[in-house]
């Protein structure tokens, strides 16, 4: 896999060295066991996979390249390039502006854009409608297009399903940029509907089997279905794709569920004519990070710190996994660790910041799981680790400990 040119201030001298060491030891990713970094009174358990993925590094490289190649020009980010405030804030500090927020609401007058402006498409991609509006302005939306190749892979698979007359069921969050983009690309060729989770998949399955009235579809799914969608007609042949940052295991479970629904409705002999196997749309980085996080669940630890942007879907799912077993705190950076007594963290389901007292156990040694989402720079994990070390007396020098670990 190719390497990218990203700014040095995103590269880590501590966590990054551990990651590089593990990659050199295990280039084929066969070993998902975490790494233990022992600093005496505090020990960090690091996931095998975390941090910047291929798509994020690609997006960062393109965005900073746009800055270098266009001195003096106005450069706009269509929306947040990735869901990490440190990266987006750095780009804004260098003169970039946002056209819209992550839900597609304009943050400026569209008419302010001119053909001389540069507009960068985010890693999540964008809708065909937005691309058309940019072209009308004389702006080439593909000149600096940072859409993740794995998102584009989902679009290509959706196109194939449409060509084969399948309806596309999209597992995702309907307001998320990536899901909106995937929906837009999909409906060119296929009927489509978006569902959020297994509960909605089960409800849709009952509608398909006639166990729920079609009125239920109108009430629950109409505003997430393509124009003219007819549930009595359009569920004859189905395939499932996903927003690539969803829980991969849930997407697969949803696909498996619809396979069983179509098996019940049409029988084994006709199954392939009514259900398309689409497991190849699952993102490798999402899979790797979630598999590595599942491995963390086998560790013995006092708590878990998950670092990432609070609007990061893939990060929220790591939190969801870890909080099954550990007190887990979702933080954007080291500034959220206010003291040994108090931490500020994000409650993703409630979409609000919370403050927790007595979060750091007093017993030693203290064992902390540390990981991050796919859009989080490793430097932020360095800073979080150093902030925890500030709160624990007698810890070893982390530079020396990393040097000893990697040899």
The residues assigned a catalytic role are 178
Buried-exposed string 15-27: b where 16+ CB fall within 10 A, e elsewhere = bbbbbeebeeeee
What secondary structure does DSSP assign to 136-155, as a single string? HTT--TTTTB---HHHHHHH
- The answer to whether 313 and 375 have CB atoms below 8 angstroms apart is no
Short-list 142, 118, 124, CA closest to 56: 124
- CA distances 76 to 67, 140, 225, Å, are 10, 13, 31
How far apart CA 213 and CA 333 sit, in angstroms, is: 48
Cα-only R_g, the chain? 23
Q: Does 365 sit behind a cis peptide bond, omega within 30 degrees of 0 on the bond before it?
A: yes
How far apart CA 326 and CA 324 sit, in angstroms, is: 6
- The answer to whether 275 and 254 have CB atoms below 8 angstroms apart is no
Q: How many helices (H) and strands (E) does the chain have?
A: 14, 14
The β-bridge relationship of strands 328-331 and 303-307 is: parallel
Two tokens, residue 354: 């919370």
How far apart CA 75 and CA 99 sit, in angstroms, is: 10
- CA distances 295 to 43, 292, 369, Å, are 17, 5, 11
How many other C-beta atoms can be found within 10 angstroms of the C-beta atom of residue 61? 16
The β-bridge relationship of strands 238-242 and 192-195 is: unpaired
């Amino acid at each position: 896999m190719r390497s990218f040119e990203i700014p040095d201030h995103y590269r880590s001298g501590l966590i990054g060295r551990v990651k590089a060491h593990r990659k050199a030891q295990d280039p084929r990713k066969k070993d998902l066991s975490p790494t233990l970094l022992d600093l005496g009174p505090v020990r960090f358990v690091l996931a095998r996979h975390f941090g910047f993925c291929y798509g994020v590094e690609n997006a960062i490289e393109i965005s900073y390249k746009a800055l270098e190649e266009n001195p003096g020009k106005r450069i706009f980010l269509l929306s947040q390039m990735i869901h990490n405030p440190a990266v987006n804030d750095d780009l804004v500090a260098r003169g970039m502006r946002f056209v819209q927020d992550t839900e597609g609401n304009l943050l400026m007058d569209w008419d302010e854009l001119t053909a001389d402006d540069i507009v960068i498409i985010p890693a999540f991609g964008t809708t065909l409608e937005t691309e058309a509006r940019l072209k009308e302005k004389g702006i080439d939306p593909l000149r600096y297009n940072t859409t993740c190749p794995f998102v584009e892979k989902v679009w290509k698979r959706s196109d194939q399903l449409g060509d084969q007359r399948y309806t596309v069921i999209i597992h995702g969050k309907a307001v998320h940029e990536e899901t909106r983009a995937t929906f837009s690309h999909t409906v060119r060729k296929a009927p489509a509907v978006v569902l959020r989770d297994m509960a909605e998949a089960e409800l849709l399955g009952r509608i398909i089997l006639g166990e729920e009235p079609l009125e239920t579809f109108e009430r629950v799914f109409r505003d997430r279905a393509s124009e003219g969608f007819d549930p009595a007609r359009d569920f004859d042949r189905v395939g499932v794709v996903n927003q690539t940052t969803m829980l991969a295991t849930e997407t697969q479970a949803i696909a498996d569920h619809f396979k069983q629904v179509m098996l019940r409705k049409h029988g084994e002999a006709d199954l392939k004519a009514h259900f398309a196997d689409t497991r190849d749309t699952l993102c490798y980085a999402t899979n790797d990070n979630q598999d590595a996080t599942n491995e963390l669940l086998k560790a013995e630890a006092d708590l878990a710190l998950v670092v990432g942007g609070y609007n990061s879907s893939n990060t929220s799912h790591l939190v969801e996994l870890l909080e099954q077993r550990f007190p887990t705190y979702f933080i954007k950076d080291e500034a959220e660790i206010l003291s040994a007594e108090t931490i500020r963290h994000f409650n993703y389901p409630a979409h609000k910041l919370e403050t927790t007292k007595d979060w750091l156990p007093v017993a030693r040694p203290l064992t902390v799981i540390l990981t991050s989402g796919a859009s989080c720079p490793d430097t932020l994990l360095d800073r979080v680790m150093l902030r925890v070390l500030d709160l624990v007396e007698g810890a070893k020098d982390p530079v020396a400990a990393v040097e000893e670990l990697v040899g």
